Amino acid sequence: MLLAIDVGNTHTVLGLFEGARLVDHWRIATRPERTTDELGVLLYQLFSARGPLEPGQDEISAAILSSVVPPATDTLVQMVQRYFNVRCKVVGPGLKTGMPILYENPREVGADRVVNAVAGYERFQCGLIIVDLGTATTFDVVTPAGEYLGGAICPGIGISSQALFVHAARLPRVEFRRPSRVIGRTTESSIQSGLVFGYVGLVDGLVNRMKAEAGFECKVVATGGLAPLIAQESETIEHVDEMLTLEGLRLLHERNR
């Protein structure tokens, strides 16, 4: 089995693949201060909860990791080596992606953005705009020839909500959910309207500008934990795939066997 690990700023998502099939997946908080042994015990507990698979039983024969949190990367790589006796591939320079990067400095592109682009192009084989609604909201454009063109980076919905609560003394922290109307009649519903419909407007506005500038047809794919909520209100998002990054990691593992 293949263990795929996607380390984000807020959450780390782990996926277990048997061939091309995603057997199971988990989402845990990203905490760079965790030690190798703490992570090993945590994975042992997660795996034990799902059934017979246990670390150290040679069930996991390969691992691959993408990370945007450098302090967490080495710890995870060491954990995989110690608890599974497997050398973990890390997405970065030296790993074959099969996708030309047209960024002025290709090393600046986040690993998660490249992984998403690879997975999206493999699935759709056409021009793409991939919207990843995570800690940051990222937009990535892939050409019809399968080249990573570039994109945009915005503060994520969670960051915006937290900033509003911290910097506006009289505004409360609210649950992130769709309000019943755009024009809020309470402070809570007004904030929810701004967050949900404001981000829908941001997504649709940037996507439309990117389509006009790119000059080629693009499918629009959303991923990330908040993708389903934003997608149901969006006029531009056509597909939602919350497991896009894990699938991209699986593909990169296959390309670097």
- Residues acting as catalytic residues: 112
Contact indicator for 11, 30 with CB cutoff of 8 Å: yes
Kindly report the number of other CB atoms within 10 A of residue 195's CB atom.
21
Which residue has 């845990």 as its token pair? 28
Helices (H), the chain: 36-50, 70-84, 111-124, 157-167, 187-214, 227-233, 244-255
Task: Give phi and psi for 220, each to the nearest 5.
Answer: -115, 120
Contacts of residue 168, Cβ cutoff 8 Å, sequence gap at least 6: none
Cβ neighbours of residue 240 closer than 8 Å, sequence gap 6 or more: 221, 222, 223, 227, 228, 231
Query: What DSSP state is assigned to residue 107?
Result: G
